[in-house]
């Protein structure tokens, strides 16, 4: 089922519109994410976008409703707006794909069941991207288990360079930055040198050893017991904390992190560190191909992992725990497909 809404604005700009695909377009995260893309928060206030919303057949009507609301928002930057349940069409010519849709863990389902169900989705999407995506495509996987879903999608797209597949760990990074800014009583924008190593899961390692505030090292100002005993676990479990307090999931902050990630990928970070989960090329002893959260800077439209950091035993042990977990997930994925 396909539908094409009339372009919101009849006028095109001098530049070619960017083709953007969002999957899971009828879901909670997309309901926030789409508005911020349409407002120009990734490519800037002059850059038009062709937006394609992908949903599964059962939810495509919901996505149609979302598209109606987007049209009603009269964003001048939306050049075209499509809703489809056809993956081939959705990814044809795409320059940026936000892979948000994923199957949540059902009652009584094991992690293997979850990997298997999502493996099928991300294999098919990787293949569709491989067939049709633009050569400069950037793929950001948000749907969980994000790192291994990105691993599967990348493996299913052999003609697309692996570094064009990222998994989102920016929300973990932003959560860690926010807690640290509060602890240090500094503006969050003053912080740099933060990284959340590894997997977007309970093993993730928010690391403050290189933390700077207004360019000064501040990691040693942070109480070690708070850091090890409270902070690390709290960052990992922040999603559950939000559900407990708000009564529903952290969709708006997830969408915000997805915007941050894609904007920084496109526009760069001006030398500031962020966390990007991307296929390893062997950095810090991480197996080649595993999609791992690294300290990263964005330069000229590409990510560059911050290399050469000296790691203490405590850091090495936490990073190794993430390598082991992702190695296991990859082995399950490899055995399934």
- The reply, when asked if residue 222 is annotated as ligand binding, is no
Per CB under 6 A, which of residues 57..86 are in contact with ligand NDP? 59
Query: Any binding-site annotation on 144?
Result: yes
- The candidate with the shortest Cα–Cα distance to 287, out of 221, 214, 198, 171, is 198
Annotation-wise, does 25 bind a ligand? yes
Residue 228's Cα: distance from chain center in Å?
26
Stretch that binds ligand NDP, among 100-108, 131-139, 280-288, 302-310 (CB under 6 A): 100-108
Q: How far apart are CA 196 and CA 169, in angstroms?
A: 7
| Angle, CA 252 vertex, CA 246 and CA 253 arms, to 5° | 90
Helices (H), the chain: 28-38, 60-72, 87-91, 111-132, 146-155, 170-184, 224-226, 232-236, 238-246, 251-267, 313-336
The CA-atom distances, in angstroms, between 102 and each of 27, 140, 212, 243, 301 are 10, 13, 36, 19, 27
Q: Within positions 170 to 229, which residues make up the interface with ligand NDP, using CB under 6 A?
A: 171
CB of residue 109 to ligand NDP, shortest distance in Å? 11
Q: How far is the CB of 30 from ligand NDP (least distance, A)?
A: 6
Catalytic member of 11, 200, 216, 261: 200
Is 111 annotated as ligand-binding? yes
Contact status: 94 vs ligand NDP (CB under 6 A): no
Neighbours of 329 (CB within 10 A): 22
Interaction of residue 153 with ligand NDP, rule CB under 6 A: no
Q: Is 142 annotated as a binding residue?
A: yes
d(CA 257, CA 263): 10
Instruction: Please select the residue that binds ligand NDP; options are 121, 176, 262, 319, rule is CB under 6 A.
Output: 121
Strands 165-167 and 138-141: parallel
Q: Which stretch binds ligand NDP (CB under 6 A): 136-144, 157-165, 211-219, 275-283?
A: 136-144
Q: Is 48 exposed, middle or buried (0-12, 13-18, 19+ CB in 10 A)?
A: buried
| Comparison of 51 and 297: residue with beta carbon closer to ligand NDP | 51
What is the Cα–Cα distance from 20 to 42, expressed in whole angstroms?
11
Region of 177-185, 212-220, 249-257, 285-293 interacting with ligand NDP (CB under 6 A) = 249-257
Among 18, 20, 22, 29, binds ligand NDP (CB under 6 A): 29
Position of minimal CB gap to ligand NDP: 27
200 a catalytic residue: yes
Answer yes or no: are the C-beta atoms of 235 and 204 closer than 8 Å: yes
Q: Which of 24, 193, 198, 279 binds ligand NDP (CB under 6 A)?
A: 24
**N residues, the chain:** 337
The nearer residue to ligand NDP, 90 or 305, going by C-beta atoms, is: 90
| Beta carbon nearer to ligand NDP, 8 or 236 | 236
User: How far is residue 112's CA from residue 118's CA, in Å, rounded to a whole number?
Assistant: 10
Among 36, 89, 103, 212, indicate the residue that binds ligand NDP (CB under 6 A). 103
24 annotated to bind ligand = yes
Provide the token pair at 120: 């099928």
Q: Which of 50, 51, 55, 218 forms a contact with ligand NDP (CB under 6 A)?
A: 55
Would you name the residues annotated as active-site residues?
A: 200
Q: Binding site residues, as ranges? A: 24-30, 105, 111, 118, 125, 142-144, 175
The site for ligand NDP (CB under 6 A) is made up of: 23-24, 26-30, 54-56, 59, 100-104, 121, 142-144, 171, 239, 249-251, 254
């Amino acid at each position: 089922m396909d539908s094409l809404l009339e372009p919101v604005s009849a006028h095109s700009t001098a530049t070619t519109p960017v083709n953007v695909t969002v999957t899971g377009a009828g879901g909670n995260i997309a309901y926030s994410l789409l508005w911020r893309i349409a407002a120009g928060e990734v490519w800037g206030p002059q850059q038009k976008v062709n937006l394609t919303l992908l949903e599964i057949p059962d939810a495509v009507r919901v996505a149609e409703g979302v598209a109606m609301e987007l049209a009603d928002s009269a964003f001048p930057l939306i050049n075209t707006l499509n809703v489809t349940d056809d993956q081939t069409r959705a990814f044809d010519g795409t320059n940026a794909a936000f892979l948000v849709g994923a199957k949540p863990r059902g009652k009584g389902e094991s992690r293997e069941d979850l990997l298997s169900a999502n493996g099928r989705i991300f294999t098919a999407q990787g293949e569709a991207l491989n067939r049709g995506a633009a050569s400069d495509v950037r793929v950001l996987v948000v749907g969980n288990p994000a790192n291994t879903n990105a691993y599967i999608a990348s493996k299913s797209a052999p003609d697309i360079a692996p570094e064009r597949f990222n998994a989102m760990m920016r929300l973990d990074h932003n959560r860690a930055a926010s807690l640290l800014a509060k602890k240090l009583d500094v503006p969050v924008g003053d912080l740099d040198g933060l990284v959340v190593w590894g997997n977007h899961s309970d093993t993730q390692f928010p690391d403050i050893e290189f933390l700077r505030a207004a360019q000064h090292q501040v990691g040693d100002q942070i109480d070690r017991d708070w850091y090890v005993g409270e902070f690390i676990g709290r960052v990992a479990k922040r999603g559950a904390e939000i559900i407990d307090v708000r009564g529903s999931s952290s969709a708006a902050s997830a969408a915000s992190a997805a915007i941050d990630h894609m904007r920084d990928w496109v526009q760069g970070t001006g030398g500031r560190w962020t966390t990007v989960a991307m296929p390893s090329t062997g950095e810090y002893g991480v197996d080649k191909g595993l999609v791992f959260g690294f300290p990263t800077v964005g330069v000229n439209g590409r990510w560059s992992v911050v290399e050469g950091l000296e790691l203490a035993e405590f850091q090495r042990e936490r990073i190794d725990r993430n390598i082991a977990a992702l190695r296991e997930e990859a082995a399950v994925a490899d055995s399934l497909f």
